[in-house]
Structure formats: C-alpha cells, structure tokens
Structure 1
Amino acid sequence: MKYRKVKIQFLYFLESINDFGKRIRILYHENLYGLGKFVFALSGTISIATLLIEFGFYYPVEWAPKIRFINSFAINYLLAYETISFLFTRERYRIYAKTHKIEIIISILVLLQKVFEKDIIEYLKLGEIGTNEAALLFLSINQLFLIFSNATRFFRSTRIYSLNRINPSLVFLLSFAFVILVGFSALHLPKAQKVSVRSIDILFTVVSATCVTGLSTLDISQSFTKFGQFIILFLIQIGGLGLMTLTTFFAIFLAGQSSVTDRLLMKDLLSEDALGKVTGIIRQVAIQTLAIEGIGAALLFRYMPVEANLTFSEKLFSAIFHAISAFCNAGFSLFSNNMGESFLFSNKPFLSVIMFLIVMGGLGFPVMSEVIKRFISPNNPYKRLSISSKLVIITTGVLIALGAIAYLSLEQKFTLQNLNIQDRVFHSLFYSISTRTAGFNTLSLSSMGVPMVFFSLFLMWVGASPNSTGGGIKTSTFAVALLHILDLVKGKDRLEIFKRTISPASISRASASIVLSFFIIFVAIFALILNEKFEFLDISYEVVSAFGTVGLTRGITPSLSDFGKIIISVVMFSGRVGIFTMFVAFTPKAKIPKYKYPIEYVVVG
C-alpha cells in the first residue's frame, strides 16, 4: 500500500513537471520565439558580413578584436538558440531530433570546437598556419556552421521555388544567372584579386566557371588569390551539379522535409518520369559526386609531381581543385600551361586520373548510377541498364575511340611528331576525351593541323551526355538523330532501339536541339567575324568550344575584344543550360486545341 502511494505521488510529480514544461513552452512560443528567431537570423546576417570582411576586404588591425567579439557573440547565440529550441519544442524530442538533425549536429560540432578550441588552434599552428591565422580559421569554420544552420532553417520555413505553375526551364536558367551574379560580385572583393582585374574579364571568368567551360582571358593562378580561386572552385562545383539540385538536396535531406512541389520541380529538371524516384536520384547525385571527387583528389594528391614545388597545403588544394574541375568537366587549371606543363606531360598516372574523372562526369548522373549498381551486382536481373544508359555508353565509347584514332592519324606530322608511339597513343586518347567537353590540354593547340582542328568541331559540338556536367547537344541527341536518319533511309516510319520504340517527342526534341545549336553557333561566328580579326577556323573553334562548354582555344581568348567576350559568354551560357531550354523558358506554352486538322504531306529534302 505504501509502495503504491509513493508510486502515485511520483507519477503526480512527473505530471506536474510535464505541465510546468508545457506552460514554459507556451510562454516561450508566445512571447520569446519570434524575437529569438529574429536575433538568430540577424546573427546569420552579421556572420556573413564579418566573414566577407575577414576574407574579402583589407581592414585596419584595430578592427580585428571587435570583429572577433561579434563573431564569438553570434556563435554563442547559435548554441543558446539551438539548445532552447530543442528544450522548448512543441514536438516530441525524438521527432524534433529527426527533422532537425543538421542543426543538432552543427551545435555539437560547434560545442566540441569551443571545448577543444586551444587544442585545435595549437594543432593548426603545427602546420603552415600562424596563431592569428589559426584563430581566424577557427572562427571562420564556426561562422560557416552558423550560416549553414541559418540556411537550413530558411529552407524549412520557406519554399522559394514553390510557386504555382512554375516553369522548370526558367528556374534552371535563372538559377545559373543567380550564381553568376553572386560569383561576379564575390570576385570583385579586394582580397580575391592579386592584381586589378577588369570587370569584363571577371564576368567572363565567372560565366566560364559556372558553365563549366574553362575558357579564360587570364591566368587564374596569377590573377586571383587563394580566396579568389576558392570562389572559382565553388562556382565550378555549383555549375557542374546545378544550383537547384544542391538546394533541393539541402531542403530535402538536411532540413528534413520535402513538399510535392519540390519533387515535381526536380522531376522536370532531372527528366525523371517517376515522382517517387526524385529524392533517391538527388541523394545518389550528392553521394556519388562527393565520393568520386574525393577519390580523385586523393589520387591526384598521391601522383602530384615533386617538380611542381608545392607546399603540403598548396598540393592538397591543387588536388581538390583539379579533381572537381575534371569531374565537372570545367577544364580550369591552376597550372599556367594547363596539363601541358613539363612535369605533368609525362605523368601518365596523374593524367589518367584526370581522364577517368572527365569520363565519369560526362556520362551523366543517371548513367553513372546505373553503371555503379551494375558493377556492384553484375548478376542481379533487376540492375539492368536502361535504353538511355546503353545509348549514352555506346555513343561515348564510339566517340572517344573515333577521336583518338583521328588524332593519332591526322597529327603524325604536327603535335605528335616528336613523340614515341606510347606517348602518341596516350595523348591522342587524352585529347579525344578532353575535347568533347572537358577542355584540358597537354599539347599545343595552336600547332595542330587544320584537318584535326576541323574534326574537333564535331567532337565539341556533340559534347557530353544528358544530366551530366558537360554541354553540347548531348550524345543521346546525336545518337537518336543519326539512327532516325538511318531508319528513314531504310523506309521505316518509327525508330526502334534495343527492342524499344523511341517516342516521337524524343525525336522531335533531338531534331530541334540540333537545329537550334546550328543557329546559335552560326550567329555567334557571324558576330565575331564582323568584329574580330582572327582566322575563320580559329573563331569557329572558339565558338564551338564555348557552346560545348569545352574550354579549348587556339589562343585567341585573351585577345578577344569586350564585344567578343560578351558573345562567347552568351554562347557558354546557352551551351550549359541548353539552347532548347532557353527557348522553352521564355516561350509561353500554347493551348492545345480540341480539334485536329487533316494531315497534309509537304515535299522536303
């Protein structure tokens, strides 16, 4: 009896505590939640501002203590706000932890950093970073956590792209334009530049990086600081994956929520039929990208030649930069002579890793995912390659082989003249892989013979594969159009591939993409011929390289006029987002009539 009475009193005590907790939560949400949320957002804004001041501007030394005090306040407020939000949540703690896992992880990381702050700074001092720089780096890492936490809450509380009847093509196009605007502003920061760089050259560099092209009017290693190079690297990564893919990834997997509108939008952007597969595809894209780039960076770090004379940190940054640049098919390099530097030219392991990354990035994320699954489970009947993947892989293989054979045959008396047979085969393969969309080069393109220059236009025009990091009309587009022509010649009225009938819509889109690509290339070449004083073939090479987001040049890029740089920038942009996508984005959809006119055949051909 006494035990039962104690138990009842204990349960009553727990109920009282629970009621008290509920009253406290109600009081907090009614009176303090709004203010706390505002201060948290303000802390994030201040954190971004101070981060820009620290890394983007040169400021008086006496400002440093004040800036770091503000940073410390913002970081401490982050910890306090996240702790209070967890303790006074209206949800069950388990549900809150599940839907706010990123904020909790960030808070734990920040707390660990604060507990072991001295140890971390001392560890950083053992490297090439001084005490002041180590403290600054430590605070910057904390600030990034704070900014990331704000961004996560922003994605949860708003849906910036959840608008009714939104045009996915327009969203895709505007997302690239937004990234270009941000990058253009960031590279204007004083600490991003080693020397004064003209705005038109910054714009050209930003467009080239965002559109993963690689054309540049200047040497980025000589013109931009490490901070500026990091901005370019950031633009390459976003440009390769696509801003909407990244933002949706954060919104779905980091914020813990996903609306139907989110998935519908990404379904159209990814050209995926099944709505339920969208989140899985985005997860695969993120994981595969990080894994492949990480492995690539580790291998490049391993095979980085000693002759490059890089410190440990420079070697690490260079490996990461070139891994991302290669996987995203950007073609940007921190070496003044690209991959043609004497210490890289004969480094076959290093160049082989570059080729592997280029091919993986150029295949496209859906194809890459299917190939990986097929490799892991070769005997699983449910892990078959789709028609699109088969078409992409076969076309890619044929184009690589065709390009290598053509280069090996046509360049015997030109760029390959002084090389042995092994080097001739290797560099022919490297050029073939790089020409279709990557833009790295080991040989002097200005010394290339006219026949190979002309053949290169075809490789660059075709480009990479759909949903990849590259440009061009895409391998599947070329394959579908070519096979359709062959079937028409045979008298067939439909296109059949691998025992499947290709939809008329796919054929129409392929034909439209090809026609529009010729249109933009012709207009750009014509505009440059009127304004520039270069050879026709060099101008054509430059334009097609820009359209295919390849980045190879015959040496005329730095000498282009401002008008020429703008033209090439527009071509790079249209090549990355897709000329067909650009037309769809700005063309209102026609209403489908309920009637149908009689069919009439028009004489063509």
Structure 2
Amino acid sequence: MYAIKKIKLTYTEIIVFGTFGIILIGGLLLSLPISSREEISTPFMDSLFTAASAFCVTGLVLYDTYTHWSMFGQTVILLLIQIGGLGFMTVITLFSIFLRRKIGLKERRLLMESANTLKIGGIVLLVKKIIIRTIIFESIGATVLTLRFYGQMGLKEGLYNGIFHSVSAFCNAGFDLMGKYGQNSSLTSYFNDITVNLTIMLLIIIGGIGFVVWDDVANNRFLFKKYQLHTKIVLVTTAVLIFGSALIFYLLEGKYSMINMGFIEKITASLFQSVTTRTAGFNTVNLNEMSQGSILMTMLLMVIGGSPGSTAGGIKTTTFIVLLIGAWTTAKQSNEITLFKRRLESDSLKKASAITVIYLFTAFISIMLISVMQEFSLVEIMFEVFSALGTVGLSLGITPSLNILSKIIVTLLMYGGKVGVLSIAIVLAEKKEPSLLSRPLEKIIIG
C-alpha cells in the first residue's frame, strides 16, 4: 500500500496499468516449460493471450486447458481467474489486512473504483465482506461439485475439479478441465446432469450480480422495497434476461442443438445457455449446431453482460436498462428518467451512451480488422469479438486458428472488456489541465 501512495497516477490509470502488469506476469509464468504438460515453452503471445483470458475472466483458449497445461500452469490460470474475479485492489487490500497495515484515503478511493461502488465510506468493510462471501460461495460450490465428480473421478481428482470449476464459474471465467472427455468440450458431457447445471448456473448468477447487490440483499433480506435502486434494477433485469432468453432458446433450438434432448433436458439447457452467454463461457450444447437466431441472441446477451461491480463483463445490465428507458423517455419528450419511483441522475444516460458507443465502435473496428486478415465467416468473427469484449469466452471454434495479429486484437479486447472501455478511453483522452475556454453554443439537427 505504501508503494501506491508514491505513484502519481489517477485512480483509473492505476487500475488500467496494474491490470496490464498482472497479465504480463501471468503470461511470463505460463510461457515457462513447467507450465505445459510436455515441459516445453509455450509461445509468449499464446501465454499472454491465455493469461489475459484468465485474469479478464473470459475463457477464450488457444489450447485445451486440461490437455496442454500442467498442474502448475492450471494453478497459475486458477490464481489469475481468482485475482481477476475479485479485482487486484481487493487482493492487495487482503494482504494489507493480514499484515495489519493502515489503508489510506487514496487506497480507499482505488477500492471504490475497483469495486465499482457508489460510496467511499465503509469500503474496507465491504471488501472484507466480498472476500468472506466469495470464499463461502466458492466453497459451497466446490463441495457440491466434488460430491458429484467423486464417483466418476475419485476423491483427489474430483476435489481438484470441484474447486477449479467452482472458482471458474463464480468468477464467470468459463475455463474448464473437461478436455479429458474431448478437447474444448466444456460441459457438453454434463448437459443432462441437473446438479452440475444448477450449481454452475447459481455460481455464475451470484458472481455476476455484483458485490454491492450482495451487500444490499444481505442487509435487507427479502424486503424488496428497501433495496437500493441499483439493486432493484440489477435483480429485475437479470431475472427478465435469464427467463426471457431461456424461452427464446427453447423455442429456437428444438430442431437444432437440442433436437435429441428430452423436455427437462431442453429446459435445463435453455436456462444454462441464457445464464452463461452473458458472461461465463461454459456451454452444454454444441454452439456450431445452434440456429442463426440463437447465435444472434447469444451475441446480444454477450454485449449486455452482467452487472457493475461484479465478475462479469459487457456493457452491463444497468447500462442496457438506462439506454432503453432513456430512449422511451426521449420519445415521450420528457426530461426525467424514472425507475421504481426514483429519478436517475442526468449524467446516467450520457455515461451509458458513451460506454455503448465506445464499446460498439471498438467491436466494429476489431471485426473489420480481423475480417481483412483472416478468411473466417463474418458471423464467426463477430461472435469471437463480442465474446472477447464481453469477457464471455464462448467461441464458434476459430480461437486456435487466430494469427498473431488477430491474437493481439482479441487480447486487447479482453483487456478492454475487463477494465472497461470507458476507463481506457478516459486514460487515453485525460487532460491534465482543465480548459478555461468555453465555446459558443449552437444547435444541430439530430435524427
């Protein structure tokens, strides 16, 4: 923490550069011979790509995690997932608490930025709660999965797989060790296992609703009226997206990827697909067998993502809702955006619009560049780009075939999706000295 006080950077810059530093260290560790099963060095760009995917809790892989990486390499990936899911400032605070070092105002501001909270007061207590609850949720998930895997894998391997998949699911990372049943097969061999499906889904949802929401729900229990506006928006939007998109997947996939499933299996697969597509990267159906409508729906969900201050990516649920309500409000020629009998700040729509425009512009440029360099279909490229930028991790199978320049682009997309495209734009465009000049006002025609 003392070193942070000496760094003369803005809070946003520390988060952006600190994230890059951890990814770089992870890439170096994964490039070592000890990190691969064959004990040979993995190309640094491939290692950096994997480290970025793990820390940015994405799940896009160039190599199957089980067949390529050794126990050491898998442990590095798991640590990167955990640190990335919690946020590196949260991890630093954890060590400071253990060492009983004082956490100053600057560190508290950094924690507020990193955890995406609204208030600086009580931030250290919130971080302690985040860490404790993370351990509890991941432990419960690991226990349930271990009990399920035990009969098939034995105690030692079952426990390891239970821990790995629990952390990966809770942090919305999508990394798996199921390559033993078929490379890059994810959870397709468990499509009919209710226990595994429900456990993974619940971990993804809890990890994706955000730390602030956890605290609000814990404090107010099931009294919805007492929840903060942020919590109400997140919970309602999440529920609508899960069940609404599950219904769409069920209707669209009956004759495609779910054609050989029974009624209950189709419902489970539809729910799993609606949960995982917004952020997690696991899959229980073959994505290449999905209908075009479902692929389009998946890309939309990847863009929306999870909620602020969570382990998820995307433009976030609150941004999506503010844009929708803002558009409706503008159509009614009203100046106020209201939700649950509360009026939003005037800057909310401006920030939501900025995030979405930068997000989509970044995606468009990336799609265009990759399409020029490689002969994939436009749908495959769009799917890969939205998956990377939304830190989702789903792919139509083109990830291992990316060339060096495409790998760099996708790595940068994962990085941007993790720290926030607006945060990177702020760092790049930040002015050290405020402008004292105010330009003349003039109207233009919009629409």
Residue 588 of structure 1 corresponds to: 430
Once residues 575 and 176 of structure 1 are traced to their aligned partners in structure 2, the CA distance between those partners, rounded to angstroms, is 12
Amino acid at match of 2:176: S
User: What is the CA-CA distance between 1:437 and the residue it aligns to?
Assistant: 0.3
Give the counterpart of 1:187 among 13, 30, 33.
30
Contact preservation (8 Å) 1:463, 1:474: yes
- Separation in 1, partners of 2:46, 2:410: 12
Q: Partner of 2:12 in structure 1?
A: 169
1:205 aligns with 2:50: yes
Conserved in 2, the CA contact under 8 Å of 1:361 and 1:468?
A: yes
* 1:533 pairs with one of 375, 397, 414: 375
Q: Which amino acid aligns with 1:488?
A: T
Equivalent in the alignment of 2:79:
234
| Structure-2 change in CA distance of 1:385 and 1:589 (3 Å) | farther
Q: Which residue of 217, 222, 227 maps to 1:385? A: 227
Q: Which 10-residue stretch deviates more, 289-298 or 187-196?
A: 187-196
Report what 2:286 is aligned to: 444
Alpha-carbon deviations, 1:382-437, whole Å to 9, x = none?
Answer: xx211111111111111111210111111111011111111111100000000000
Matches of 1:413 and 1:267 in 2, distance apart?
Answer: 47
Q: Is 2:314 aligned against 1:472?
A: yes
Letter in structure 2 aligned against 1:399: L
Displacement after TM superposition at 1:241 (Å): 1.0
1:176 Cα deviation from its structure 2 partner:
1.2
2:209 alignment counterpart: 363
Describe how 1:86-105 pairs up with structure 2 within 5 A. Answer: none
Partners of 1:244 and 1:291 lie apart in 2 by: 20
**Is the 1:285–1:365 contact (alpha carbons within 8 Å) kept by the matching residues of 2?**
yes
Bigger mean CA offset, 512-521 vs 276-285: 276-285
Corresponding position of 1:104: none
| Offset of residue 254 of structure 1 | 3.9
Calculate the TM-score normalised by the size of structure 1.
0.70
- 2:386 corresponds to 1:544: yes
Answer yes or no: is 1:277 the counterpart of 2:119.
Answer: no
Structure 1 597/533 Cα, relative in aligned 2: closer, same or farther at 3 Å? closer
Q: In the alignment, is residue 408 of structure 1 matched against residue 250 of structure 2?
A: yes
Aligned to 2:84, the other structure's residue is in SS state helix
Q: Is residue 2:70 matched to residue 1:225?
A: yes
Number of aligned positions between the proteins:
441
- Code of the residue aligned with 2:306 in structure 1: it is A
Q: Structure 1: how far apart are the matches of 2:65 and 2:436?
A: 57
Q: What is the CA-CA distance between 1:380 and the residue it aligns to?
A: 11
Measure, in 1, the Cα distance between the counterparts of 2:402 and 2:295: 20
Residue equivalent to 1:394: 236
Q: Structure 2: which amino acid aligns with 1:251?
A: S
Aligned to 1:347: 193
Quote the Cα distance in structure 1 between the aligned partners of 2:44 and 2:114: 32
1:592-603 pair list within 5 angstroms: 592=434, 599-603=441-445
CA contact (8 A) 2:147 2:158 kept: no
Instruction: Measure, in 2, the Cα distance between the counterparts of 1:269 and 1:467.
Output: 8
What SS class does the counterpart of residue 530 from structure 1 fall into? helix
Structure 1 residue runs without a partner (length 5+): 1-154
How far, CA to CA, are the matches of 1:558 and 1:577 in structure 2? 24
- Matches of 1:164 and 1:243 in 2, distance apart? 16
Spell out the pairing of 1:51-130 with structure 2 (5 A cutoff): none
* 1:523 matched to 2:365: yes
> What is the distance in 1 between the residues matched to 2:259 and 2:224?
48
Which residue in 2 is equivalent to 1:31?
none
Distance 1:379 1:361, change over 3 A: closer
Partner AA of 2:171 in structure 1:
C
**2 CA distance for matches of 1:593 and 1:560?**
44
Secondary structure of the 1:230 match is helix
Structure 2: tracts of 5 or more residues without a match: none
Distance 2:312 2:224 in 1: 31
Match of 1:327 in 2: 170
Q: What secondary structure does 1:162 align onto?
A: helix
Q: Which of 92, 96, 101 is 1:251 aligned to?
A: 96
Deviation at 1:440, TM superposition (A): 0.3
Deviation of the 1:317 alpha carbon: 1.1
Structure 1's 165 and 563: CA in aligned 2 closer, same or farther, altered over 3 A? closer
Deviations 1:231-281 (A, max 9, x none): 100000011111112102322454242222221332333343433221111
Q: Which residue of 1 aligns with 2:113?
A: 268
> 1:511 maps to which residue?
353
Distance 2:291 2:137 in 1: 35
Within 2, Cα distance between the matches of 1:441 and 1:282? 31
1:307-351 deviation per Cα after TM superposition (whole angstroms, max 9, x unaligned): 3xx242221111110000000000000001444343x22211111
Which stretch shows the higher mean deviation, 398-407 or 321-330? Answer: 398-407
Offset, 1:565: 1.3
Q: Alpha-carbon deviations, 1:132-176, whole Å to 9, x = none?
A: xxxxxxxxxxxxxxxxxxxxxxx5xxx111147631111111121
Which structure shows the bigger proportion of residues in helix conformation?
A: 1
Report if aligned partners of 2:27, 2:49 keep a CA contact under 8 Å in 1.
Answer: no
Deviation at 1:590, TM superposition (A): 6.3
The whole-number CA distance in structure 1 between the counterparts of 2:378 and 2:141 is 38
Q: Could you say if the C-alpha distance between residues 595 and 562 of structure 1 is closer, same or farther in structure 2, counting changes exceeding 3 Å?
A: closer
In the alignment, the residues of structure 2 paired with residue 285 and residue 230 of structure 1 have an alpha-carbon distance, to the nearest angstrom, of 22
SS of the residue corresponding to residue 273 of structure 2 reads: helix
1:81-119 per-residue CA deviation (whole Å, 9 max, x = no partner) reads xxxxxxxxxxxxxxxxxxxxxxxxxxxxxxxxxxxxxxx
| AA of the residue aligned to 2:59 | G
Show the 5 A alignment for 1:295-310. Answer: 295-304=140-149, 306-307=151-152, 310=153
- Contact 1:208/1:572 (<8 A) preserved: yes
What's the secondary structure of 1:533's corresponding residue? coil
Checking the alignment, whether the CA contact within 8 Å between 2:304 and 2:315 is kept in structure 1 is: yes
Is contact 1:335–1:341 with CA below 8 Å preserved after alignment?
A: no
Q: What is the distance in 2 between the residues matched to 1:583 and 1:380?
A: 36
The amino acid across from 1:354 in the alignment is I
Q: Tell me what 1:315 maps to.
A: 158
Q: Residues 115 and 211 of structure 2 are in contact (CA less than 8 Å); yes or no, is this contact kept in structure 1?
A: no
1:160 aligns with 2:10: no
Q: Does the CA-based 8 Å contact 1:183-1:231 persist in structure 2?
A: yes
Given that 2:172 and 2:312 are in contact with CA atoms closer than 8 Å, whether structure 1 keeps it comes out as: yes
Give the letter aligned to residue 62 of structure 2.
T
2:322–2:349 Cα contact (<8 Å) kept? yes
d(CA) in 2 for partners of 1:405 and 1:236?
A: 31
Deviation of 1:372 (Å): 2.8
Letter matched to residue 175 of structure 2: F
Q: TM-score w.r.t. structure 2 length? A: 0.94
Further displaced range: 230-239 or 497-506: 497-506
